[in-house]
Structure formats: structure tokens, C-alpha cells
Structure 1
Amino acid sequence: MARMWTIFLLPFSWLYAGVMGIRNWLYEVGWKTSESFAVPLLDVGNLRVGGTGKTPHVVWLVEELRRQGHRPAILSRGYGRLTHGPRVVGPSDSAATVGDEPWQYFQEFAARQVPIAVAEKRRLGVRLLLEQQPETTVVVLDDAFQHRAVRPTLNVLLTEWAQPFYQDHVLPAGRLRESRHGARRADVIIMTKCPPGLSAAAQALVLQRVRQYSRPHAPVLFSSYAYGQPVAMSADAAGTPAALRPLPVSGHSVLLLTGIAQPGPLRENLEKQGYAIEHHAAFPDHHAFQPQDLTRLRGHWQPDWPIFTTEKDATRLQAPLVRAAWAGLPLYTIPVRVAFLGAGGAALRGLLPPAPAAAS
């Protein structure tokens, strides 16, 4: 049935792909212009809608740039925010005012002096960052692969192991935002959420498929997720993380609460550790949690069952009314970081722009 529906929608996908193709062609021939800036721009994007792992890869890049002596900044669109226009994120903001991912970045990097900004028009956001944070030496663009009005120095394209772009279709028959051939703009392609033990033979097969659409010599790297120990959330007035309370050993019953595009890898990780997921409250990506969502979750909860969620979801669970709704529940976030397979990390480091001497 799903295949028949896909076939029915394909003509609409071809039309959408054609419109996007004309738009890209206008940029390629110079009829539409892309703006460059005095500092390098590193874009982390994808071809499909949601769920390829942009946030942990942006975090990896920012941490690596800082290690190399850069003073990086992050610029995001701020999907789902209640504000408009370019805006530098500050302590008085929230996931509602700037979006869940930018707010997560702010909580991660504010203490380390990494500016975060949001802007629908990325060129305005870059200008604002460089105006207010002139010491910035590089800007990492979160999800700007299709935003052709700015010209990245390095275009990083992510595609998910379980749903690679070369097996997908353009909207509405599939999840691609543009044709598979958009991969030719990528300077490096990362296959994300791979099994940690992915064989060399399997990687070679992926490379063969990717090469049908990519530049001949663009590196193709492979990354997986590394999950950290659960961190207890606090429902106090400030939403400050609490010290980790004693957590039941693996094999214990748990609940899972997510509002992300692809919760599958997190589920698999918890199940591999032996946790029994008694109920998974799965909401759409960027879901704005409401008090009633937590009320329903309590209906599935038993005393001493931990409730796991993601760092991204935690940003939206801190709204005052929502925070009050889960007060007393043992909520834990599961930190996630990127782990490259083989020499992938070293290869990506080699593509990063050198830090200016004055910034080192």
C-alpha cells in the first residue's frame, strides 16, 4: 500500500524537484547570488527532512574548532520559535523564543563563550554575529544546505545509515528537500548513526552508492552515536540540572519520552543495555510539550521507574507549566555524542580552516 501511495505521489515529487533544480541552477550560473563573509562558514546540513543527527555533529565541530584555537559561533534558523528576525541568544531566552536546538546549544556552550544566533535569513544572522561578536573567527551553520544565499567555506552533508538519501524520493513521495544530485554541492558526506562495528565491506558498498551523486573526490565518512550516562533533570524554578540520583541497574522497567524525528537509535541503545521500555511516549519532531502530555505519561508510570528523554527534548520540558507537570517524576536525559569510525574524525579535522594566529 505504501509503495502504491509513493508511486501516486511521484509526479508531484518530480515537479517539486524541478522547481528546486531551477533554483539551484540560478545560483550556479550566478543569476542568484550567494554572499561570502570575512570569516569561514561551515554548514552542517542534509537533503532530507529531519533526523540525520545535525545537532551532535554541530557540537563535535564546535568543540574541535575550540580545541584548534578558533572562536566559533553557531547560527541556526530557530525552527518553531515564537520570535522572528535575526537574534543573538541570551539567558532570558528559552526554547520557545529561539527554538529547541539553539537553546540546547546555548545551554551547552554559553559558559564557554560560544555565541549562538538564530535567523531565517542566514546572511542577516552572520552579519549580526560579526557585528556583536567581532572576535568570532568561524561560524557553524546549522541546517543551511538548501540556504543558497550564503556561500559556505565547507559544506558538510549528513545522511542517515538507516535511511540514506540515495534510497529516498523528493517530497511528497519521500523525505528529500531536493534531488539526490544536490549531494554534488557537499565537500564531505557523513553517513550518520552507523553501527559502531560497521564492516569495511559495508562501507565500500555505501561509498559506491554515494558516488553516483557526489563529487568524485569528496570524502565519505562514517559516524555513530556514543551515549553517555543518564543525567537527572531538576524541576526547580530555575530548571537547573540536579545531581544524578541513584539509577536502577539495567534490566529495570523504564519509560521513554521523545519529541524527535528519529528516536529509534536511542531505543535500541537502552534495550541493548537491558532496560525494558514499558511505554514510549513518542511525539513528532520539535513537539511543544503540554502539561497534559505529562499527565498522560504519569498514567503509565510506576514508582521507581526512571523516565528517559533526550537533551533536545529537555529544552522544551523546561517551560514553567510543563516543568510543574513533571515535578516529582524521575526524568533523566541521555547525553549523545558523535564517534567517528576509523580515521573519520582525523579526516574531518583536516578539512577545517586553520585558526588565525591572533585567536590561538
Structure 2
Amino acid sequence: MQYLRWLLLPFSLLYGLVVIIRNWFYDAGLFKSKQFDLPVICVGNLEVGGAGKSPMTEYLIRLLKNDYQLATLSRGYGRHTKGFILADMASTSAQIGDEPSQFKHKFPNVSVAVCEDRVAGIDQLKTNHDLILLDDAFQHRAVKPGLSVLLFDYTHLQQPKFVLPAGNLREPFSGRWRADVMVVTKCPDDLTERQMTNSYEKIAPLNWQPLFFSAISYQPLQDMEGQLVDFTMDANTTVFLLTGIANPKPLVQHINQFTVNIIHHNYPDHHPFSLKNMVKLAGEFSACKSQKKVIITTEKDAQRLGVHELLPAVAQLPVWVLPIGIKFLNNGQQEFDKTIINYVREHTEHY
């Protein structure tokens, strides 16, 4: 399959040229990029797929929510609606997308909004909020954020840097120099000095661009309502893993530390689970002879399992959710937090 993608290189050259010209138009002021008076923090990446944007957005929410009236603004990928929507606790993933739905259920007192047009979305939110967190908006050049946090998946740093469709980059790798802060995500917990140096050499940040390193922090299992469950995985456990995320490999590796008995129902990112999917899962789960078996999914996938038509089928199965967070390595958390808080404090004082 990888070799077939090389045949798409001419299209990648054309795509990359178009993106370069578009970015130049924004940089030159020929295309309008709006800057707002209140602090706007953008979380994004260069690649298609998961680099840990949702865990980073949640980290920023936890860091700032007690001191500021904040709102998250996302496109709402995969939703069946259009335009600006301010979520409430009844909003479903079909209405606002799975990641915004996850934010709202985890942080019910935080404003969660979706809008394809981020400028219009911020205009709707700015009156009643101190700051805006933009989820997955690094390529949305119509907004000029006050602070851009750019994420890189550690496991992908060694891969060729080609844009779509031959590669996985949304824009050329040189786009990283627009970022204010860079974070390498999904690093091994025991990241070595040499591995950090290799990452620095691959990313080559500018002198004023701080580069941080983080790893995935897996949390205790929960039920679909967010309550902790009394279940411990061990070598005798058979795990039916249900995912519809961009990169489930780190999750599989994590579960492999406890058991090698994994039956993976792996679907594409943002996959809208169907009753047929659940019937297949239920059938295999029922037929499994293991004395200790469980179904595990991600927080993002759980939002799409909570749609009305699937609830009866899901309720009959022991589906546990494995939440994730991030942890900074090499004592980087204090400096990262300071960078974020200083930016917000400076810009809210003048707002």
C-alpha cells in the first residue's frame, strides 16, 4: 500500500503548491486573517489524524477553567448539522461531533461550541467569554490566534514528510514555523536524551519556539456514565477493543502490557457506529469462551456509542471506557503551564 502512495507524488506536488500559495496570500495580507482582542489559543497539528489534540485541549481546559470564563470552538467533524451550535448536555455527537461532545460531558460548566467558520464562531462567543480554545484549527488561517500550540506525534517523526495524498501532511512541514509552542506527543515514558535530540533535529524549531515532550497518561476504566469500575485486566482477560480513531496503535500497546488476548474491532476515524457493528461485536463477545472478558473503547468512541438508536444494544454489553490524558516529560509541565498562563493573563488584562 505504501508503494502505491508513491504513485500519488505528482498530486502531492500540486496540492502542496496550492497550500503554499494560499499560505503566502495570508502571510502577505492578500487573504484576510482576523485577530481578536481576547486571547485565542489554537491547538492543531500538521498531519491528518490523531496527534493528541483532544487530550491537549482538555489539559488546557483544566489549566484555565477555574480562573477564566472559557469556551472551546471546534469544526464539529462528522456532525449532521451545519452552522453555529452552542452545546448543552443533551447535545449528541451527531449534532456537534464526537470530540466536542466529549468536552461537554467531561466539563459541563465550560461552553462548548461548533462552527465551520471559526471567525463567525468567535464573534458569537467573545462577548460572554474571557478566552477561546480552538480545537484543530492550525490550518484555519482566517483566524489569527494569539497563541498556536502545534503537536507532533513522536511515532511519526521519522516518516517521510509528504503532503496529501502521497503522505499524511495537510500542509508542507515548513508550516510548523507559524507555531508559538510545539509539543511532541505520545513519547515513550522513558524518553532518552538521544531521542529528544533526534526529535529536535527533525523538527528544527526556531530559537523562540519552545519544544516540549509529553506522553499518554492512561486513566482508570470507567463505565459509559463516567463512573469508575472495579475491573483489573490481567493475562487471563480477553479484551474486545472497539475503536474508530486515527491511530489506535498506542492503545493496543498499552493493553498488551496486561494481556495479549485482544480482539480488535478497528474502524476508521470518526466512524459512525451502526447497529450492525454492535450486533457483530455482541455476537463475538457472546461466543467467546473466556471466563474473564470485557469490551473496551475510547472516550471519543463512547460519544458515538451513546446515540439513541444504539443505546439498547450498548446497555446489554459490559462496555468500559479507557480515558487518556497527557503528562509532560523532563519536568516540562511547569514551564508549559507558565507559557500558557502568562499569555492569557497578559491579554486578558488588556481586554
Residue-by-residue CA offset, 1:217-271 (whole Å, 9 max, x unaligned): 31111110010111122xxxxxx44562x32441211110001001111111111
Root-mean-square deviation over aligned CA pairs:
1.8
2:188 to 176, 187, 195: 195
C-alpha contact 1:166 1:209 (8 A) present in aligned 2: no
**Structure 1 equivalent of residue 284 of structure 2:** 300
**Structure 1 equivalent of residue 265 of structure 2:** 281
C-alpha contact 2:38 2:131 (8 A) present in aligned 1: yes
Question: Using the alignment, how far apart are the partners of 2:89 and 2:7 within structure 1?
Answer: 48
2:126 to 102, 123, 130: 130
TM-score (norm 1): 0.91
Which amino acid letter does the alignment assign opposite residue 121 of structure 1? D
Question: Using the alignment, how far apart are the partners of 1:53 and 1:139 within structure 2?
Answer: 19
**Structure 1 equivalent of residue 211 of structure 2:** 220
C-alpha contact 1:307 1:331 (8 A) present in aligned 2: yes
Which amino acid letter does the alignment assign opposite residue 125 of structure 2? L
- What secondary structure does 1:104 align onto? helix
**Structure 2 equivalent of residue 332 of structure 1:** 320
Structure 2: stretches of 5+ with no match in the other structure: none
Which amino acid letter does the alignment assign opposite residue 267 of structure 2? F
**Structure 1 equivalent of residue 12 of structure 2:** 13
Cα displacement (A) at 1:33: 1.5
**Structure 2 equivalent of residue 85 of structure 1:** 83
**Structure 2 equivalent of residue 208 of structure 1:** 201
- What secondary structure does 1:226 align onto? strand
Question: Using the alignment, how far apart are the partners of 2:196 and 2:228 within structure 1?
Answer: 41
Question: Using the alignment, how far apart are the partners of 2:192 and 2:139 within structure 1?
Answer: 32
**Structure 2 equivalent of residue 97 of structure 1:** 95
Cα displacement (A) at 1:72: 1.6
- What secondary structure does 2:261 align onto? strand
Question: Using the alignment, how far apart are the partners of 2:153 and 2:281 within structure 1?
Answer: 30
Question: Using the alignment, how far apart are the partners of 2:233 and 2:202 within structure 1?
Answer: 42
Which amino acid letter does the alignment assign opposite residue 89 of structure 2? P
1:257 and 2:256 correspond: no
**Structure 2 equivalent of residue 30 of structure 1:** 29
Residue-by-residue CA offset, 1:12-34 (whole Å, 9 max, x unaligned): 10110000000000011111111
Question: Using the alignment, how far apart are the partners of 1:142 and 1:217 within structure 2?
Answer: 23
Which amino acid letter does the alignment assign opposite residue 126 of structure 1? I
C-alpha contact 1:256 1:309 (8 A) present in aligned 2: yes
- What secondary structure does 2:107 align onto? helix
Which amino acid letter does the alignment assign opposite residue 117 of structure 1? A
Residue-by-residue CA offset, 1:145-187 (whole Å, 9 max, x unaligned): 0000111111111110111287331000011111111011011
Structure 1: stretches of 5+ with no match in the other structure: 234-239
- What secondary structure does 2:23 align onto? helix
Change (3 A) 1:104 1:296: same
**Structure 2 equivalent of residue 236 of structure 1:** none
Cα displacement (A) at 1:329: 1.0
C-alpha contact 1:166 1:180 (8 A) present in aligned 2: no
Change (3 A) 1:114 1:165: farther
2:221 to 203, 207, 230: 230
Question: Using the alignment, how far apart are the partners of 1:63 and 1:57 within structure 2?
Answer: 10
**Structure 1 equivalent of residue 177 of structure 2:** 184
C-alpha contact 1:60 1:338 (8 A) present in aligned 2: yes
Residue-by-residue CA offset, 1:326-352 (whole Å, 9 max, x unaligned): 222111000101001013222221222
Residue-by-residue CA offset, 1:273-293 (whole Å, 9 max, x unaligned): x12333100000000001110
- What secondary structure does 2:315 align onto? coil
**Structure 1 equivalent of residue 146 of structure 2:** 153
Which amino acid letter does the alignment assign opposite residue 118 of structure 2? R
C-alpha contact 1:72 1:115 (8 A) present in aligned 2: yes
**Structure 1 equivalent of residue 58 of structure 2:** 59
- What secondary structure does 1:78 align onto? coil
